[in-house]
Amino acid sequence: MRIPVPALVSLFVISFLVDFYIRMDLKSYSSADRRKLYTRIYAALSGACWIFLTVIACLPLRDEANGVTTVMWMLFSYITVYLSKAIYCIFSLTGRLFSPRGHRKLNYGVMAGIPMSVICFITMWWGVVFTRHEIEVNKVEISSPRLPAGFDGLRIVQFSDLHVGTWGNDTTFVSALVDSINSCRPDLILFTGDIVNRRTEELEPFLPVLSRLNASRGVFSILGNHDYGDYIDWKNPADREANNRKLAEYQKMMGWTLLNNEHRFLLAGTDSIALIGVENWGDPPFKCYGHLERSYKEGGLETLNDSCYKILLTHNPAHWVEEVEPQTNIDLTLSGHTHAMQAMVTVGDWKWSPAKWRYDLWGGLYTNGANVPEYLYVNIGVGEVGIPSRIGAVPEVTLITLRRGDNLTVPKAEK
């Protein structure tokens, strides 16, 4: 299976329209003696881009013998060129529509479109060269009167969506990430899924590095939608099962505790809190392996509403919206998955991401606004998949400090 046909058709059509329009601009705004030369050069360059896209379309994406990294880089390169061209077209067309009658040659949109398209191109590659290598530690305090006194001040580091396959064999970034996490002096480290892109062998170069993670109460993890081998068309189902077993074995080798629809109790003297981990709970098109009721004791929803302070790891924040918050009194849910679509705009305390079009709760801290509120924190991840770039959405490590006391003032989640 290759890139979905509708997506390919759309890409070809958009590319054709963009190239047709720019060629029309070249004919309109070039001098007569240069017009033919410019249009021929542009036609040759466009033809090369179209051949490049055709090659991308022919490369297999889901074959178990092939990686996806090459296709990802090629497609990103193509998109950076044509998105920049599209930005130019929007400005130029606007200029054509609003230029004064009799002054069609005077197109201020062209004058604005050229620098804006250059800025677009530079911004996308800036996300490759610089932003995706930065690491931001976001510090959050969460208070609850239900937290046992023995856990007041518990320091939790959450990180998510490593997608180590995007880095190939280069462990530089992941090593820096481990150093950043350890420097937070966490009591507990929690990873909320998507450690690989497609298959377990991507993790092998990173085993020694990730084994360096250190927390006094341990490292716990769950699986995300990319961790089940579902993005490969396996010739033999037994190979997929072996792939998934190996992922669990590797995490154990690293000293991590993988929670697959199960829980652990953390103790502090006579006090205890529950740490619950579910397998990936997917809203379509992602597969659902998670089972919340099975993950905590016996008795299902009744015990999920007991008096114990509970922390839940679930990869997809939609799980909190659909099941966790309406049906349980779980105090703190930690999720990832959204990546903030690897693009985010920040102005002061205000943040926006195109992830908002897909997930209402896409990044940061949310609450249900109850008298004893339940909280959700969505970590925007540290890795990349789909495109090897982060535009404004800096890789995130979250340092959460639990406090026993009054509730925080947090905007109510709009579900």
Residue 323 lies in a domain: yes
Q: Which long-range contacts (CB under 8 A, 24 or more apart) does 199-204 make?
A: 199/64, 199/165, 199/229, 199/232, 199/243, 200/229, 200/243, 200/244, 200/246, 200/247, 200/250, 201/246, 202/164, 202/165, 203/164, 203/247, 203/250, 204/250
Domain boundary among 109, 129, 149: 129
Residue 191: CB atoms within 10 A of its CB come to: 30
* pLDDT for residue 298: 64
Average pLDDT over residues 313-335: 96
pLDDT of 103 over the 60 cut: no
Same domain, 121 and 190: no
Q: Is the dihedral of CA 261, 355, 383, 283 positive or negative?
A: positive
* pLDDT for residue 104: 56
- Coil, helix or strand for 146? coil
Same domain, 62 and 107: yes
pLDDT band at 414 (very low <50, low <70, confident <90, very high): low
* pLDDT for residue 290: 94
* pLDDT for residue 105: 63
Same domain, 155 and 238: yes
* First-last CA distance in the chain: 35
User: Domain limits at 11?
Assistant: 5-129
Which pTM does this prediction carry?
A: 0.91
* pLDDT for residue 1: 40
Give yes or no for a contact between 322 and 288, defined as CB atoms under 8 angstroms apart.
Answer: no
Share of the chain above pLDDT 90, in %: 74
Domain boundary among 129, 153, 176: 129
Same domain, 291 and 166: yes
Same domain, 150 and 95: no
Same domain, 371 and 276: yes
pLDDT of 106 over the 70 cut: no
**Structure confidence by residue, pLDDT tens digits, 186-245:** 999 999 999 999 999 999 999 999 999 999 999 999 999 999 999 998 989 999 999 999
Same domain, 148 and 107: no
Residue 415 lies in a domain: no
Residues 117 and 256: their CA atoms lie apart, in Å, by: 45
Same domain, 207 and 330: yes
* pLDDT for residue 86: 96
Residue 367 lies in a domain: yes
Amino acid at 153: G
Query: What residues form DSSP beta bridges with 268?
Result: 271
Residues 133 and 409: their CA atoms lie apart, in Å, by: 33
Same domain, 154 and 205: yes
Domain boundary among 106, 129, 152: 129
Same domain, 214 and 266: yes
Residue 112 lies in a domain: yes
| Cα R_g (the chain), whole angstroms | 25
* pLDDT for residue 136: 97
More confident residue, 236 or 411: 236
Tally the domains of the chain: 2
Q: Which of 103-107, 249-253, 361-365 has the lowest mean pLDDT?
A: 103-107
Instruction: Please enumerate in sequence order all residues whose Cβ is within 8 A of that of 241, keeping only pairs 6 or more positions apart, or say none.
Output: none
- How many Cα atoms sit within 13 Å of 5 on the Cβ side? 0
Residue 166 lies in a domain: yes
pLDDT band at 5 (very low <50, low <70, confident <90, very high): confident
Residues 198 and 225: their CA atoms lie apart, in Å, by: 9
Average pLDDT over residues 78-91: 95
Same domain, 155 and 209: yes
More confident residue, 392 or 28: 392
Average pLDDT of the chain to the nearest whole number: 91
Residue 412 lies in a domain: no
Amino acid at 86: A
Residue 64 lies in a domain: yes
Alpha-carbon distances of 222 from 267, 279, 324, rounded to whole Å: 21, 6, 16
Residues 29 and 121: their CA atoms lie apart, in Å, by: 23
Alpha-carbon distances of 135 from 193, 222, 351, 368, 381, rounded to whole Å: 18, 22, 17, 29, 10
Give yes or no for a contact between 220 and 187, defined as CB atoms under 8 angstroms apart.
Answer: no
pLDDT of 56 over the 60 cut: yes
Residues 140 and 402: their CA atoms lie apart, in Å, by: 9
**Structure confidence by residue, pLDDT tens digits, 234-274:** 989 999 999 999 999 999 999 999 999 999 999 999 999 99
Residues 265 and 267: their CA atoms lie apart, in Å, by: 6
**Structure confidence by residue, pLDDT tens digits, 109-163:** 888 999 999 999 999 999 999 999 999 999 999 999 999 999 999 999 999 999 9
Give yes or no for a contact between 220 and 334, defined as CB atoms under 8 angstroms apart.
Answer: no
Same domain, 124 and 155: no
Residues 35 and 57: their CA atoms lie apart, in Å, by: 33
pLDDT of 380 over the 70 cut: yes
* pLDDT for residue 7: 80
pLDDT of 412 over the 70 cut: no
Average pLDDT over residues 334-342: 97
CATH of residue 222's domain is: 3.60.21
Residue 409 lies in a domain: no
**Structure confidence by residue, pLDDT tens digits, 286-323:** 889 999 999 997 656 668 889 999 999 999 999 999 99
